[in-house]
Amino acid sequence: MTPSEPEEATLQGAAWLPHGYQLDPHSHVQGQLVYAAAGTLATVTERGTWVAPANRVTWTPPRFAHSHRLYGRTDIRLLTVPVHLCARLVDHPSVFAVSPLLREAILALTDKPERGPGAHKRLLAVIVDELADAAEQSLHLPEPSDDRLRAATALLHEDPARPATLAELGRTVGASERTLSRLFHTELSMSFHRWRTTLRIHHALGHLTDGLSVTETAVACGWSNPSSFIDAFTEVVGQTPGRYQAELRKDER
Protein backbone atom coordinates (compact mmCIF):
# COMPACT_ATOMS: atom_id res chain seq x y z
CA MET A 1 0.00 0.00 0.00
CA THR A 2 1.40 3.44 -0.92
CA PRO A 3 1.16 6.31 1.59
CA SER A 4 -1.55 7.98 -0.50
CA GLU A 5 -3.85 4.94 -0.38
CA PRO A 6 -6.41 4.99 2.45
CA GLU A 7 -6.87 1.82 4.47
CA GLU A 8 -10.27 0.19 4.36
CA ALA A 9 -12.40 0.61 7.44
CA THR A 10 -12.08 -2.27 9.87
CA LEU A 11 -15.04 -4.53 9.15
CA GLN A 12 -16.50 -7.23 11.33
CA GLY A 13 -19.88 -8.84 11.56
CA ALA A 14 -22.03 -11.92 11.22
CA ALA A 15 -24.76 -13.12 8.85
CA TRP A 16 -26.64 -16.29 7.97
CA LEU A 17 -26.24 -16.99 4.24
CA PRO A 18 -27.93 -19.70 2.14
CA HIS A 19 -26.41 -22.86 0.68
CA GLY A 20 -24.72 -22.12 -2.64
CA TYR A 21 -24.16 -18.41 -1.93
CA GLN A 22 -21.22 -17.11 -3.96
CA LEU A 23 -19.16 -13.94 -3.75
CA ASP A 24 -17.34 -12.97 -6.97
CA PRO A 25 -13.55 -12.46 -7.09
CA HIS A 26 -12.37 -9.39 -5.18
CA SER A 27 -9.48 -8.27 -2.98
CA HIS A 28 -8.87 -6.12 0.09
CA VAL A 29 -6.24 -3.61 1.13
CA GLN A 30 -6.17 -5.28 4.55
CA GLY A 31 -6.16 -8.92 5.60
CA GLN A 32 -9.36 -10.90 6.14
CA LEU A 33 -10.42 -13.74 8.40
CA VAL A 34 -13.63 -15.57 7.52
CA TYR A 35 -15.06 -18.16 9.89
CA ALA A 36 -18.06 -20.38 9.25
CA ALA A 37 -19.47 -20.98 12.73
CA ALA A 38 -21.89 -23.35 11.01
CA GLY A 39 -21.73 -24.67 7.45
CA THR A 40 -18.67 -24.76 5.19
CA LEU A 41 -16.73 -22.04 3.36
CA ALA A 42 -14.69 -22.49 0.16
CA THR A 43 -12.23 -19.76 -0.80
CA VAL A 44 -10.80 -19.74 -4.32
CA THR A 45 -7.61 -17.92 -5.42
CA GLU A 46 -5.26 -18.25 -8.37
CA ARG A 47 -3.25 -20.67 -6.21
CA GLY A 48 -6.16 -23.06 -5.77
CA THR A 49 -9.10 -23.67 -3.46
CA TRP A 50 -9.20 -23.73 0.34
CA VAL A 51 -12.14 -25.32 2.18
CA ALA A 52 -12.96 -24.59 5.82
CA PRO A 53 -15.69 -26.43 7.75
CA ALA A 54 -16.81 -25.16 11.14
CA ASN A 55 -13.63 -26.24 12.96
CA ARG A 56 -11.35 -24.05 10.82
CA VAL A 57 -10.93 -20.39 9.86
CA THR A 58 -9.81 -19.01 6.48
CA TRP A 59 -7.08 -16.38 6.24
CA THR A 60 -6.58 -14.21 3.12
CA PRO A 61 -3.65 -11.73 3.18
CA PRO A 62 -3.95 -8.23 1.74
CA ARG A 63 -4.39 -7.87 -2.03
CA PHE A 64 -4.97 -11.56 -2.77
CA ALA A 65 -7.85 -11.80 -5.26
CA HIS A 66 -10.33 -14.39 -3.96
CA SER A 67 -13.91 -15.54 -4.19
CA HIS A 68 -16.14 -17.51 -1.81
CA ARG A 69 -18.74 -20.23 -2.05
CA LEU A 70 -20.82 -21.58 0.84
CA TYR A 71 -21.94 -25.16 1.40
CA GLY A 72 -24.99 -25.50 3.61
CA ARG A 73 -26.81 -22.68 5.38
CA THR A 74 -23.80 -20.89 6.82
CA ASP A 75 -23.27 -18.69 9.86
CA ILE A 76 -20.49 -16.54 8.43
CA ARG A 77 -18.21 -14.39 10.62
CA LEU A 78 -16.03 -11.72 9.01
CA LEU A 79 -13.02 -9.96 10.53
CA THR A 80 -10.71 -7.44 8.86
CA VAL A 81 -7.10 -7.54 10.04
CA PRO A 82 -5.28 -4.17 9.83
CA VAL A 83 -2.11 -4.17 7.74
CA HIS A 84 0.18 -3.63 10.72
CA LEU A 85 -0.98 -6.97 12.21
CA CYS A 86 -0.85 -8.99 8.98
CA ALA A 87 2.92 -9.53 9.13
CA ARG A 88 2.37 -11.77 12.15
CA LEU A 89 0.45 -14.26 9.97
CA VAL A 90 1.53 -16.25 6.93
CA ASP A 91 1.83 -14.33 3.65
CA HIS A 92 -0.37 -16.73 1.67
CA PRO A 93 -4.02 -17.80 1.88
CA SER A 94 -4.49 -20.60 4.38
CA VAL A 95 -6.81 -22.36 6.79
CA PHE A 96 -6.14 -22.74 10.51
CA ALA A 97 -7.56 -24.97 13.22
CA VAL A 98 -9.97 -23.16 15.54
CA SER A 99 -9.19 -23.67 19.22
CA PRO A 100 -11.97 -23.17 21.82
CA LEU A 101 -10.42 -19.81 22.79
CA LEU A 102 -10.17 -18.68 19.17
CA ARG A 103 -13.77 -19.67 18.45
CA GLU A 104 -15.14 -17.78 21.45
CA ALA A 105 -13.04 -14.72 20.64
CA ILE A 106 -14.30 -14.64 17.04
CA LEU A 107 -17.91 -15.10 18.14
CA ALA A 108 -17.61 -12.38 20.78
CA LEU A 109 -16.00 -9.94 18.36
CA THR A 110 -18.65 -10.48 15.68
CA ASP A 111 -21.70 -10.90 17.95
CA LYS A 112 -21.49 -8.27 20.62
CA PRO A 113 -21.18 -4.47 20.72
CA GLU A 114 -17.92 -3.08 22.01
CA ARG A 115 -17.98 -2.97 25.81
CA GLY A 116 -15.51 -0.13 26.15
CA PRO A 117 -12.87 1.88 24.26
CA GLY A 118 -10.30 -0.38 22.68
CA ALA A 119 -12.04 -3.64 23.67
CA HIS A 120 -12.40 -4.89 20.11
CA LYS A 121 -8.82 -3.99 19.28
CA ARG A 122 -7.57 -6.01 22.24
CA LEU A 123 -9.76 -8.97 21.32
CA LEU A 124 -8.48 -8.89 17.74
CA ALA A 125 -4.92 -8.93 19.09
CA VAL A 126 -5.78 -12.11 21.03
CA ILE A 127 -7.12 -13.69 17.83
CA VAL A 128 -3.95 -12.83 15.92
CA ASP A 129 -1.83 -14.19 18.79
CA GLU A 130 -3.75 -17.49 18.63
CA LEU A 131 -3.40 -17.73 14.85
CA ALA A 132 0.29 -16.86 14.90
CA ASP A 133 0.90 -20.05 16.91
CA ALA A 134 -1.72 -22.23 15.19
CA ALA A 135 -0.82 -24.98 12.76
CA GLU A 136 -2.02 -24.61 9.19
CA GLN A 137 -4.64 -27.26 8.46
CA SER A 138 -5.48 -26.47 4.88
CA LEU A 139 -8.04 -28.36 2.88
CA HIS A 140 -6.09 -26.78 0.03
CA LEU A 141 -6.50 -27.96 -3.54
CA PRO A 142 -3.67 -26.31 -5.54
CA GLU A 143 -4.00 -25.80 -9.29
CA PRO A 144 -1.13 -26.37 -11.76
CA SER A 145 0.35 -24.15 -14.44
CA ASP A 146 1.92 -26.86 -16.64
CA ASP A 147 -0.39 -27.55 -19.61
CA ARG A 148 -0.04 -31.34 -19.33
CA LEU A 149 -0.85 -31.36 -15.64
CA ARG A 150 -3.71 -28.88 -16.15
CA ALA A 151 -5.20 -31.22 -18.76
CA ALA A 152 -4.94 -34.18 -16.39
CA THR A 153 -6.46 -32.36 -13.41
CA ALA A 154 -9.23 -30.97 -15.63
CA LEU A 155 -10.33 -34.54 -16.39
CA LEU A 156 -10.56 -35.22 -12.65
CA HIS A 157 -12.42 -31.98 -11.98
CA GLU A 158 -15.01 -33.07 -14.58
CA ASP A 159 -15.40 -36.46 -12.93
CA PRO A 160 -13.84 -36.79 -9.45
CA ALA A 161 -14.93 -40.44 -9.29
CA ARG A 162 -12.95 -41.25 -12.44
CA PRO A 163 -10.96 -44.40 -11.58
CA ALA A 164 -8.11 -43.68 -14.01
CA THR A 165 -4.56 -44.39 -12.90
CA LEU A 166 -1.83 -41.82 -13.38
CA ALA A 167 -0.54 -43.84 -16.34
CA GLU A 168 -3.98 -43.80 -17.97
CA LEU A 169 -4.32 -40.06 -17.46
CA GLY A 170 -0.85 -39.63 -18.94
CA ARG A 171 -1.79 -41.50 -22.10
CA THR A 172 -4.87 -39.29 -22.49
CA VAL A 173 -2.96 -36.00 -22.13
CA GLY A 174 0.26 -37.05 -23.86
CA ALA A 175 2.60 -37.33 -20.90
CA SER A 176 4.30 -40.26 -19.20
CA GLU A 177 3.30 -41.50 -15.76
CA ARG A 178 6.73 -40.50 -14.48
CA THR A 179 6.39 -36.97 -15.86
CA LEU A 180 2.95 -36.44 -14.32
CA SER A 181 4.10 -37.84 -10.98
CA ARG A 182 7.05 -35.45 -10.98
CA LEU A 183 4.80 -32.50 -11.88
CA PHE A 184 2.38 -33.26 -9.05
CA HIS A 185 5.26 -33.11 -6.59
CA THR A 186 7.14 -30.13 -8.05
CA GLU A 187 4.13 -27.93 -8.94
CA LEU A 188 1.57 -28.94 -6.34
CA SER A 189 3.79 -30.27 -3.52
CA MET A 190 1.68 -33.39 -3.14
CA SER A 191 1.24 -36.79 -4.70
CA PHE A 192 -1.35 -37.60 -7.32
CA HIS A 193 -3.22 -39.73 -4.76
CA ARG A 194 -3.28 -36.92 -2.19
CA TRP A 195 -4.46 -34.33 -4.74
CA ARG A 196 -7.28 -36.55 -6.00
CA THR A 197 -8.33 -37.42 -2.44
CA THR A 198 -8.55 -33.72 -1.57
CA LEU A 199 -10.55 -33.03 -4.74
CA ARG A 200 -12.97 -35.83 -3.88
CA ILE A 201 -13.42 -34.55 -0.34
CA HIS A 202 -14.21 -31.06 -1.67
CA HIS A 203 -17.01 -32.66 -3.71
CA ALA A 204 -18.04 -34.86 -0.78
CA LEU A 205 -18.68 -31.78 1.35
CA GLY A 206 -21.15 -30.56 -1.25
CA HIS A 207 -22.88 -33.95 -1.56
CA LEU A 208 -23.25 -34.32 2.20
CA THR A 209 -24.65 -30.81 2.40
CA ASP A 210 -27.15 -31.66 -0.33
CA GLY A 211 -28.43 -34.56 1.77
CA LEU A 212 -26.76 -37.60 0.19
CA SER A 213 -26.00 -40.36 2.67
CA VAL A 214 -22.43 -41.23 3.61
CA THR A 215 -22.60 -44.36 1.44
CA GLU A 216 -24.08 -42.49 -1.53
CA THR A 217 -21.41 -39.80 -1.19
CA ALA A 218 -18.62 -42.37 -1.05
CA VAL A 219 -19.81 -43.96 -4.30
CA ALA A 220 -20.42 -40.63 -6.04
CA CYS A 221 -16.89 -39.45 -5.20
CA GLY A 222 -15.07 -42.62 -6.24
CA TRP A 223 -14.46 -44.62 -3.07
CA SER A 224 -14.93 -48.36 -3.39
CA ASN A 225 -16.37 -48.68 0.12
CA PRO A 226 -17.75 -46.30 2.79
CA SER A 227 -15.11 -47.16 5.40
CA SER A 228 -12.28 -45.95 3.15
CA PHE A 229 -14.21 -42.74 2.52
CA ILE A 230 -14.86 -42.23 6.24
CA ASP A 231 -11.15 -42.69 7.04
CA ALA A 232 -10.03 -40.24 4.33
CA PHE A 233 -12.69 -37.65 5.20
CA THR A 234 -11.88 -37.82 8.92
CA GLU A 235 -8.14 -37.41 8.29
CA VAL A 236 -8.61 -34.31 6.11
CA VAL A 237 -11.64 -32.60 7.68
CA GLY A 238 -11.06 -33.53 11.30
CA GLN A 239 -14.46 -35.17 11.88
CA THR A 240 -16.38 -38.08 10.38
CA PRO A 241 -18.77 -37.40 7.49
CA GLY A 242 -21.66 -38.54 9.69
CA ARG A 243 -20.72 -36.01 12.38
CA TYR A 244 -20.29 -33.29 9.76
CA GLN A 245 -23.75 -34.01 8.34
CA ALA A 246 -25.34 -34.21 11.81
CA GLU A 247 -23.97 -30.79 12.69
CA LEU A 248 -25.39 -29.37 9.45
CA ARG A 249 -28.84 -30.67 10.39
CA LYS A 250 -28.51 -29.29 13.92
CA ASP A 251 -27.57 -25.84 12.58
CA GLU A 252 -30.58 -25.84 10.23
CA ARG A 253 -33.09 -26.38 13.04
CA dihedral defined by 235, 241, 242, 247, rounded to 10 degrees?
100
pLDDT digits (tens, 9 = 90+) for 110-119: 987 777 788 8
Query: Would residue 189 be called left, alpha or beta, if left means φ above 0 and alpha means ψ between -120 and 50 degrees?
Result: left
Whether residue 6 has pLDDT greater than 50 = no
What per-residue confidence (pLDDT) applies to 11? 62
For the packed helices 147-158 and 177-188, what is the interaxial angle rounded to 10 degrees?
Answer: 90
- Give domain limits for the chain: 12-140, 143-252
pLDDT digits (tens, 9 = 90+) for 31-52: 999 998 888 888 988 888 888 8
- The band of 237, judged by pLDDT with boundaries at 50, 70 and 90, is confident
Whether residue 1 has pLDDT greater than 80 = no
**Mean pLDDT to the nearest integer, 106-127:** 87
Whether residue 99 has pLDDT greater than 90 = no
**Mean pLDDT to the nearest integer, 107-134:** 87
Residues paired with residue 45 on neighbouring β-strands, in sequence order: 48
| pLDDT above 70: percentage of residues in the chain | 93
Looking at domain 143-252, its CATH class is mainly alpha
pLDDT digits (tens, 9 = 90+) for 155-208: 999 999 999 999 999 999 999 999 999 999 999 999 999 999 999 998 998 888
Contact 29, 96 (CB under 8 A): no
What per-residue confidence (pLDDT) applies to 253? 56
Whether residue 61 has pLDDT greater than 60 = yes
What per-residue confidence (pLDDT) applies to 241? 94
Distance of CA 94 to the CA centre of its chain: 8
What per-residue confidence (pLDDT) applies to 138? 66
| 12-140 and 143-252 have identical folds | no
| pLDDT above 90: percentage of residues in the chain | 60
Residue 95 CB burial class (10 angstroms; 0-12, 13-18, ≥19)? buried
Contact 236, 138 (CB under 8 A): no
- The band of 5, judged by pLDDT with boundaries at 50, 70 and 90, is very low
Fold of 12-140: Jelly Rolls (2.60.120)
- Judge if pTM exceeds 0.85: no
